[in-house]
Amino acid sequence: MTLDLTGRIALVTGASRGIGYQIALQMAAAGAHVIAVARTVGGLEDLDDEIKASGRGAATLVPLDLTDMPAIDRLGGVINERWGKLDILVANAGMLGVISPVGHVEAKIFEKVMTLNVTSQWRLIRSVDPLLKKSGAGRAIILSSNAAHSAKAYWGPYAASKAAIETLTRSWAAEIQDSPMRVNACDPGATRTAMRAQAMPGENPNNLPGPAEVAARILGMARTDLAHNGMIYQAKGDRWVSYQQPA
């Protein structure tokens, strides 16, 4: 079924490249007005050019370093003033850090990973939660990773950050369970991106799906008729998983 996002306002972080770029592009193609957030101005401008060339949807470019916490707070205020609501949040921005034994990780690297992958995500949630509640069907899509569960050797900081944001996502979902909002995490799976190349330099990228293919699967998480809440969508297998345990 073709996804129609006409009239919907979508905020996508990490929108200058990779999966975030493709999600923003495809949401605009589905009719959404995309608020595209990233540090790299050139990548945002490329996105804007491609959206304009398609003739469908529109974008507002927001060059923003997500480690600037007060700026994240201001972003929510600006969205409220201009649109009065937010329909879709795609919290995609993140970083790998370093593949290293836990005891060898530099403190500044560990802190940077946690700041971007966890603290900035919480700050973003806090900033837009009231706006998503103003939507008739607010949808929050928080990018996670299987690393949160596999806890592979040498992936400690990244794995810990994804476990933290995934748990935060589930707590948020439980809080809005009885509302029209839906909050879910997404494990995109191995994808042909710069981050994947950094993590697995010996891997043949041609064996992996590209960002456009993965983004197309993730787009369904923005459907207004979505029933899932507090779950993890695994894009690779196109399946929904719950890690919640009975109280």
The reply to whether 158 belongs to the active site is yes
End-to-end CA distance of the chain: 37
Residues 6+ positions from 82 with CB-CB distance below 8 Å? none
77 close to 128: Cβ distance less than 8 angstroms:
no
- Count CA atoms closer than 13 A to 230's CA, side-chain side: 14
Catalytic residue among 21, 158, 233, 243: 158
**Which residues carry out catalysis?**
158
